[in-house]
Structure 1
Amino acid sequence: MAGTAAAAGAAGLAALCRRRGEADIAGCTALVTGGSRGLGLLIARELGRRGCRVLVAARGADALDAAVADLRGEGVDARGLVCDLARDAEVTALAARIRDEYGGVDVLVNNAGVIRVGPAAAMSEDDVAQALDTMFWGPFRLTRALLPGLRERRGRVVTITSIGGRISVPHLLPYSCAKFAQVALSRGLDAETAGSGVRFTTVVPGLMRTGSHLGIEVTGSPRAEYTWFAAAAGMPVLSMDAERAARAIVAAALRGRRHLVLTPAARAALIADGISPGLVQAALRTTARLLPHGQSPAVRTGAQARRQTGVFLRALTRLNDRAARRFNQVPAQRGGAGGAGGPRGREG
C-alpha cells in the first residue's frame, strides 16, 4: 500500500510539474519551415527529441534530404516537404498536404528567412519584396491556413523574428522591414486569438552561430560587407551558440511564453531603445557611416566572398565555420553570383 501511495504521489507530482513547466508534446506533429539547416534544423531536432513527429519544409530538395537523414539518424520521426514560402501556390499546397496527410499540426515554427547584406542604395524593390514574401507573406498565409486545426488541437505557433525586427539594422534594410512585419504578425495574432487555446511565442534572437554567414548574399561591396557581417555573427561575446538557442526556444514555447529575447546584447539593445530611442538611432547612424559604401550591382554568396578574405577573418569566424559544417549550412554555390532574381541568402 505504501508503495502504491508513493507511486501515485510521484505521478501526481510529475503531472503538476508538467502543468507548471513544459507541455508534453510526445506523439504530436510539428512543422518547421526553413528546417533543412541552421537554427531550423536544430529546433526540429529538439522537438524530435521530445517525441514529436517533425515535418521540415524548405526550398532545396538536396538540403532537405540531408536534414531528414540527419534527424532520422538522431532517432527522430522526420519527413521532408519541399516548399518555397515566397510562392503563394506552394504555401497553399503545403497547407493542404499537411491537413490531408497528417491531419494538421500541433506546433508550427515559422523560421524560414533570407538575408541580403548591403547599403540601401544597392538594394532593389525586388530585394524588399523577396524578403517580405519569405518572412511575412509566407508565414501569414501558412499560419492562417493551419490556424483552424491549431485551434482544435490547442496548438502552438513559434515565430523566429530578430533583433532586426525591433531595431532596424543598417545594411539589412529588406531583412529588417520583413522582420518588423513578422513581429507585428506574431504579436497581433496572439492578441486576436486570445481564448482560442492557441499559444503564440514571438522569438527575438540576437546574433547566433548557425553558420548562416556562408549562405547570405552580399552586394554593394561584397567582400567588405561579408567581412563585417561574418565577424559580428561569429563573435562569442555578441553571438549565441545555436544549439543552446534552439533548446531555449523550444522550452519557452512549451512553457507558453509569449515573448523571448535571446542574447544579452539583444536585451541590452532593446532596453536602451525603450529608454532612449533617439540615442540608439544616433548610434545606428554612426554605425552606418562606418560600414562600406559601395554600390556595385554584383551579388555574391557569403561562401563566395569568403574566398577573398584572409587568415585573420577566418580565425574570427572559426566557431561559425564549425557550426556551418555541423548544421547542414550548404553554401548556395550553384547558379553563380546571381542577380536580384538569383539564389537568395538563407537564414537558419
Structure 2
Amino acid sequence: MARSSLDRLDGGVALVTGSSRGLGLLIARELGRQGCPVMLCARDGDELERAESMLREEGADVRSLVCDVNDARAAQRLVKATEAAFGRLDIVVNNAGVIQVGPLDAMTEADFRDAMETMYFAPLRLVLAAVPGMRERGGGRIVTISSLGGRIPAPHLLPYVGAKFATAGLSQGLRAELAADKISVTTVIPGLMRTGSHVAAEFSGQAEREYAWFASAAGFPVLSMDGERAARAIVRAAARRRPELVLTPVGKVAVRLHGLAPATTTRALTVAARWLPVSGEEPEHNMPGRQAARSLGSAAVNRITALNDRAARRFNQPV
C-alpha cells in the first residue's frame, strides 16, 4: 500500500548534530535510507570522517563539518554549510549531548553550564538559525532529542536532567509557536538505549562504581532498547510530524506513572538515590567511561554490558 504523504520525508535535506557516533549516527543513517541528503557534524574529526565513510558506503548522500555546537558561531556555520552543499535545509535534528554521572557534591557549576550549553543553548541557536530559511521555503521539521531524564529527575544525573528538562520545554514551546509556519517540532523522550553511550559518558565521585550501575542499566535488554530500532522510530515520528515520541516500554510506563502519581515516583527515586554511591574521600571528576570500565575491571559488569559494548563498536564508539 502506498504511504501517505504525511509518512514521507520526500528527500528533504537534513542536518543532524552529534552524528559521528551512537544515536546521532543511526538517525543520520536512517534519514539517508529514506532518501534524505544529510549533513553530519561533531567535534572529533577522526570519528566524523569514519562516520561519513560508513554512510557513503551504504549509498547515502552525505557531507560533514567538524564543529563544536557550543561555539556561538557554530549554528550559522552549520546552516550555511548545509545550504551550500545541498541547496536547502528541511530537517534539523538536535541530538548532540553530554552525559555526566555522579552525585551532586561531585559536580561543579561548570558541569551544569556545559550541559546547558550543549543540550539547551546549542539547539536554541540552531533553531534560530534554521527557521528563517524554513519559513521562506514554506515549512520544515525540527526534531529534539530530549530524554526520559527530561521528564523524570533521575538521581546522579543532575546536569543532564536539568538540561534535558529545559530542552523538552523549549521543544514543546517551539511546536506551538512554529505551527503556523508549517514547521513541525517533534520532542523525543528516549529511555535507555543500546547505542554505546556508556563508553562516552563521564563519571564523577566513585567513578568506577558509578560506571557499574549506569553501564549495567544502559545495556540490560529488559530496560534498554536496540539503537537501530530507536532511530527508525524517531525518523518515522519526524516524517509523520508527531508532537512527541516516548521510547522503550519502561519509559512509557514511567512517564505515565509520573504523570498520574508524581509523589510516588519521587519517593521511588529517593530510595534509589540512597543505594547509589557517595562521592568518596577523593572523588574523581569526569572520568571517561572507557577509562572507568578498565579501572573497574569487573567480569560481571562486562557480561551485563556485552550487548551495549557490541553496539558501541558497531556505531563508531570503540570500547
Alignment TM-score > 0.5, same fold = yes
1:75 to 59, 71, 84: 59
The answer to whether structure 1 residue 313 and structure 2 residue 311 are counterparts is: no
Other-structure match for 1:324: 312
Other-structure match for 1:229: 214
2:226 alignment partner AA = D
2:4 to 10, 15, 18: 18
SS at match of 2:180: coil
Report the CA distance between 1:149 and its aligned residue: 1.4
SS at match of 2:181: coil
2:44 to 51, 57, 60: 60
Aligned residues with identical type, % of pairs: 51
Other-structure match for 2:166: 181
User: 2 CA distance for matches of 1:149 and 1:103?
Assistant: 11
User: 2 CA distance for matches of 1:317 and 1:229?
Assistant: 10
| Residues 142 and 184 in structure 2, CA contact (< 8 A), matched pair in contact too | yes
SS at match of 2:73: helix
User: 1 CA distance for matches of 2:8 and 2:86?
Assistant: 21
SS at match of 1:195: helix
Other-structure match for 1:302: 289
Alignment of 1:105-184 (within 5 A): 105-151=89-135, 152-184=137-169
2:161 alignment partner AA = S
Report the CA distance between 1:299 and its aligned residue: 3.1
The verdict on how the C-alpha distance between 1:298 and 1:128 changes in structure 2, with shifts beyond 3 A counting, is closer
SS at match of 1:227: helix
SS at match of 1:88: coil
CA RMSD of aligned residues (A): 1.3
* TM-score (structure 1 length as normaliser): 0.88
| Residues 216 and 301 in structure 1, CA contact (< 8 A), matched pair in contact too | yes
User: 2 CA distance for matches of 1:245 and 1:158?
Assistant: 14
User: 2 CA distance for matches of 1:202 and 1:174?
Assistant: 19
1:52 alignment partner AA = C
1:18 alignment partner AA = S
Alignment of 1:227-306 (within 5 A): 227-295=212-280, 296-306=283-293
Point out where structure 2 has 5 or more consecutive residues left out of the alignment: none
User: 1 CA distance for matches of 2:74 and 2:260?
Assistant: 43
Report the CA distance between 1:294 and its aligned residue: 1.6
Report the CA distance between 1:101 and its aligned residue: 4.2
User: 2 CA distance for matches of 1:82 and 1:59?
Assistant: 5
Report the CA distance between 1:100 and its aligned residue: 4.2
Other-structure match for 2:198: 213
Indicate the structure (1 or 2) with the bigger Cα radius of gyration.
1
